[in-house]
Amino acid sequence: MTTFSCHHFEALDPHELYTVLRLRQEVFVVEQECAYLDADDHDLEAWHVLGRENSRVVAYARILPPGTTDPDHVSIGRVLTVPDRRGSGIARALMESTLGVVAAQFPGRPVRISAQSYLLEFYASLGFRRIGEPYLEDGIEHVAMVLDARAAD
């Protein structure tokens, strides 16, 4: 069974922080071959959602408050699941938990994501709607998507 917890940056212990940064590098830098600066200073303002099975972190998402990267929207990013848990429903559980945190911490605020294009249907099934045209981010096609405030509450 997967359990989810959410921590502001200061509440992450060093082992949790190391695990999060390592997983993000494994998935985004190594697996997806994106050379970018992952430690972008936004972690300091973020809420970090960790999904654990036993003591192992198997899913993660980062929540950025309005004003961090978008003046009006809460932003969710760095969404990942470990390879051996993909296809198990854990990504949906992670996003539902993450949206629950958003509703509790930022009531009435819309949510914005930068979705990899192959995940458009997944995010649409959670209530997100596509805005704008596809664009390349770190060599991967993405699409901006928004979840209206009423759907996030």
CATH of the domain at 30: 3.40.630.30
Report the domain count for the chain: 1
Q: Among 40-49, 98-107, 134-143, 144-153, name the one with the lowest average pLDDT.
A: 144-153
- Give the span between the Cα atoms of 26 and 106, in whole angstroms: 30
- Give the span between the Cα atoms of 136 and 70, in whole angstroms: 19
| Chain mean pLDDT for the chain | 92
What kind and span of H or E run contains 112? Answer: strand 111-116
Structure confidence at residue 149 as a pLDDT band (50, 70, 90):
confident
- Give the span between the Cα atoms of 8 and 137, in whole angstroms: 26
The model carries a pTM of 0.93
Per the CB < 8 A criterion, the answer to whether 62 and 39 are in contact is: no
Altogether, the residues listed in the chain come to a count of 153
Task: Determine how many CB atoms are found less than 10 A away from the CB of residue 68.
Answer: 16
- Domain hosting 27: range is 2-152
- Give the span between the Cα atoms of 103 and 59, in whole angstroms: 20
- pLDDT value, residue 35: 81
pLDDT surpasses 90 at 151? no
Residues 6+ apart with CB under 8 A from 151: 127
